[in-house]
Chains A and B, each alone.
Chain A
Amino acid sequence: MGIVQIAAVIVILLLLVKPVGTYLYHVFSNEPSRTDRIFGGFERGIFKLSGLKNREGMTWKGYAISFLGTNIVLVAFSYLFLRLQGALPMNPNGTGGMEQSLTFNTVISFMTNTNLQHYSGETGLSYFSQMAVITMMMFTSAASGFSVAVAFVRGITGRDTVGNFFEDFVKSITRIFLPLALLVTLVLVALQVPQTLQPSLHVTTLEGGSQQIAIGPVASLESIKHLGTNGGGFFGANSAHPFENPSPLTNVIEILSMWTLPASLPYMYGLFAKNKRQGWMIFSAMMTLFVLLLGLNYYAETAGNPAINAMGIDASQGSMEGKEVRFGIAQSSLFTAVTTAATTGSVNNMHDTLTPLGSITPLSLMMLNNVFGGKGVGLVNMLMYAILGVFLCGLMVGRTPEFLGRKIEAREMKLIAIAILIHPLIILAPTAAAFLTELGKGSISNPGFHGMTQVLYEFTSSAANNGSGFEGLADNTTFWNVLTGIVMLLGRYVSIIAMLAVAGSMIRKKPVPETIGTFRTDNGLFTGILIGTVLIIGALTFLPVVVLGPVAEYLTLR
Chain B
Amino acid sequence: MSTIPKKKLLTGPILQSAVKDSFMKLNPVTLMKNPVMFVVEIGTIVVLMMVLAPGYFHTEDSIGFNITVFLILLVTVLFANFAEALAEGRGKAQADTLKKTKQDISANKLVGGAVKIVSSSDLRKGDIVVISQGELIPGDGEVIEGLASVDESAITGESAPVIKEAGGDFNSVTGGTRVVSDQIKVRITSDPGESFLDRMISLVEGAKRQKTPNEIALNTLLISLTIIFLIVVVTLRPIAAYLNVDLEIPVLIALLVCLIPTTIGGLLSAIGIAGMDRVTQFNVLAMSGKAVEAAGDINTMILDKTGTITFGNRMASEFVPVGNENEAELAGWAAVSSLKDETPEGRSVIELIKKQGHPYQAVLAEEAEIIEFRAETRMSGLDLKDGRKVRKGAVDSMKRWVSSQGGQIPDNLDKRSNEIAGKGGTPLAVAVDDRIFGLIYLKDTVKPGMKERFDELRKMGIKTIMCTGDNPLTAATIAAEAGVDGFIAESTPENKIEVIRREQQEGKLVAMTGDGTNDAPALAQADVGLAMNSGTSAAKEAANMVDLDSDPSKIIEVVAIGKQLLMTRGALTTFSIANDIAKYFAIIPAMFTLAIPEMEVLNVMGLGSPSSAIISALIFNAIIIPLLIPLAMRGVSYKPMSSVKLLRRNIFIYGFGGVLVPFLGIKLIDMLVSIWI
Contacts and interface: CB of A to CB of B under 8 A. Distances in A.
A417 B224 contact: yes
Interface string A36-64: 00000000000000000000000000000
B235 A429 contact: yes
A541 B232 CA distance: 7
Interface residues of A, number: 67
A548 B240 contact: yes
A517 to B, nearest CB: 3
B655 interface: yes
Interface stretch (B535-543, B560-568, B626-634): B560-568
Interface string A173-205: 000000000000000000000000000000000
B238 interface: yes
Contacts of B562: 398
A458 B255 CA distance: 26
Interface string A387-404: 010011111111111000
A429 B241 CA distance: 14
B293 A548 contact: no
B647 A519 contact: yes
A540 B655 CA distance: 16
A307 interface: no
A543 B243 contact: no
Interface string B628-664: 0000000000100011101110110011000000000
A529 B229 CA distance: 21
Nearest to A411: B217
B521 to A, nearest CB: 21
B144 interface: no
Nearest to B506: A513
A265 B12 CA distance: 61
B227 interface: yes
B644 A548 contact: no
A421 B643 contact: no
A543 B242 contact: no
Interface stretch (B3-11, B487-495, B576-584): B576-584
B660 to A, nearest CB: 14
Given A395-B569, A536-B581, A548-B243, A556 B598 contact: yes
Interface residues of B, number: 76
Interface in B399-457: none
Interface in B211-231: 213-214, 216-218, 220-221, 223-225, 227-229, 231
Given A395-B566, A513-B507, A536 B235 contact: no
Nearest to B238: A432
Contacts of A551: 602
Interface in A463-514: 510-513
Contacts of B643: 397, 399, 516-520
B646 A397 contact: yes
Interface in B453-471: 458-463
Given A516-B461, A540-B580, A547-B592, A396 B245 contact: no
A529 B651 contact: yes
B236 A545 contact: yes
Interface string A449-469: 101100010000000000000
Contacts of B647: 393, 396-397, 519-520, 525
Contacts of A400: 213-214, 293, 296-297, 566
- Interface residue SS majority, chain A: helix
A435 B638 contact: no
A398 B566 contact: yes
Contact of A435 (B242, B255, B642, B651): B242
A396 B242 contact: no
Contacts of A435: 238-239, 241-242
B508 interface: yes
Contacts of B370: none
A354 interface: no
B299 A421 contact: no
A402 to B, nearest CB: 9
Given A395-B570, A396-B570, A421-B224, A552 B592 contact: yes
B243 A540 contact: no
B411 to A, nearest CB: 51
A413 B213 CA distance: 11
Which of B224, B235, B240 neighbours the largest number of chain A CB atoms within 10 Å of its CB? Answer: B235
Which of A395, A516, A520 neighbours the largest number of chain B CB atoms within 10 Å of its CB? Answer: A395
A107 to B, nearest CB: 28
B592 A548 contact: yes
A408 to B, nearest CB: 7
Interface string A420-447: 1100110011011101100001000000
Nearest to B220: A413
B166 interface: no
A291 interface: no
A555 interface: yes
Contacts of B460: 398, 516-517
A139 B508 CA distance: 44
Nearest to A436: B238
B584 A540 contact: yes
Interface in A273-314: none
A504 to B, nearest CB: 17
B223 A417 contact: yes
B508 A396 contact: no
Given A429-B235, A452-B239, A520-B644, 18 more contacts: A393-B574, A398-B296, A399-B297, A399-B563, A400-B296, A417-B220, A420-B224, A421-B227, A428-B231, A451-B242, A511-B507, A512-B299, A512-B508, A513-B508, A517-B643, A536-B580, A544-B232, A548-B240
Interface of B: 213-214, 216-218, 220-221, 223-225, 227-229, 231-232, 234-243, 245, 255, 259, 293, 296-297, 299, 458-463, 506-509, 562-564, 566-567, 569-571, 573-574, 577-578, 580-581, 584, 588, 591-592, 596, 598-599, 601-602, 638, 642-644, 646-648, 650-651, 654-655
The 5 closest A-B pairs by CB, nearest first: A395-B570, A517-B461, A398-B563, A515-B461, A417-B224
14 contacts: A392-B570, A396-B574, A409-B217, A421-B231, A428-B232, A518-B643, A523-B644, A525-B647, A536-B578, A536-B580, A540-B581, A547-B602, A548-B592, A555-B601
